[in-house]
Amino acid sequence: MPSSALTPSADIATLYADHHSWLRNWIASKLQHSGREVAEDLAHDTFVSLISSRNRAPEPDELLKPRAYLATVAKGVVVSWIRRQSLERAWLETLATLPEPQHPSPEHQHVIVETLAEIDAMLDTLKPRAKQAFLMATVDGMKQADIATALGISIPTVKSYMHKAYLLCLSQMPDD
């Protein structure tokens, strides 16, 4: 069947059939201590990402180097997974400091981790120093003058960063 006759899902299916095991092994080599199951999940997530971004991704039959493309997409998936693991570890460390009766239910814990991941992704749309200044103020409780000194920037710049971060947070709040 000529590639022009393939449907988008058939193109992805061909790409999957031709390169899935290579991608799984490539991911496993990058995450040596995480196990084959994680590599399998992340390879799967890479193809899900391709399917969900079909309007932006090149057609598989147009790819000159499909493995290089898959590796690029997989890097983003792996980085997201690593960040999520880091958030989950930080949450578990925080949870360990609370007395047992104050622990939220497992369902609520899942919601908390999901929310932290969404906030992290949202803050990543800021410039790195703006994100850092916002976190220094909101998480660490630092004053603007201390943030300015720590980052080697002016207080008006700190205020500008904070303003942008708060506007971003407000823009994500529901309208109800």
Exposure string (b/e) for 79-113, b if CB count within 10 Å is 16 or more? ebbeebeebbeeeeeeeeeeeeeeeeeeeeeeebb
The answer to pTM > 0.95 is no
What pLDDT was estimated at residue 116?
86
3-state secondary structure of 169: helix
Nearest C-alpha neighbor of 138 from the set 112, 113, 111, 116 = 116
What pLDDT was estimated at residue 167?
93
Side chain identity at residue 19, one-letter code: H
Q: Tell me whether residue 17 is exposed, middle or buried, using C-beta atoms within 10 angstroms of its C-beta: 0 to 12, 13 to 18, 19 or more.
A: exposed
Q: Where are the domains of the chain?
A: 8-97, 106-172
Q: Tell me whether residue 161 is exposed, middle or buried, using C-beta atoms within 10 angstroms of its C-beta: 0 to 12, 13 to 18, 19 or more.
A: buried
**In a structure prediction context, what are the per-residue pLDDT tens digits for the chain, which is 176 residues long?**
444 434 455 578 888 999 999 999 999 999 988 888 999 999 999 999 888 876 555 655 566 788 998 999 999 999 989 988 988 898 888 888 989 888 899 899 889 888 888 888 889 899 999 999 999 999 889 999 999 999 999 999 999 999 999 999 888 888 76
Query: Distance between CA 27 and CA 74 in Å, rounded?
Result: 8
Residues in the chain: 176
3-state secondary structure of 107: helix
What pLDDT was estimated at residue 91?
87
According to the CATH classification, is domain 106-172 in 3.30.360.10?
A: no
Query: Distance between CA 123 and CA 120 in Å, rounded?
Result: 5
What pLDDT was estimated at residue 7?
47
For the record, the structure tokens of 103 come out as 């622990």
Query: Distance between CA 65 and CA 61 in Å, rounded?
Result: 10
Long-range contacts at 35-40 (CB < 8 A, ≥ 24 apart): 38/81
Which DSSP symbol is given to 81? H
Which DSSP symbol is given to 63? -
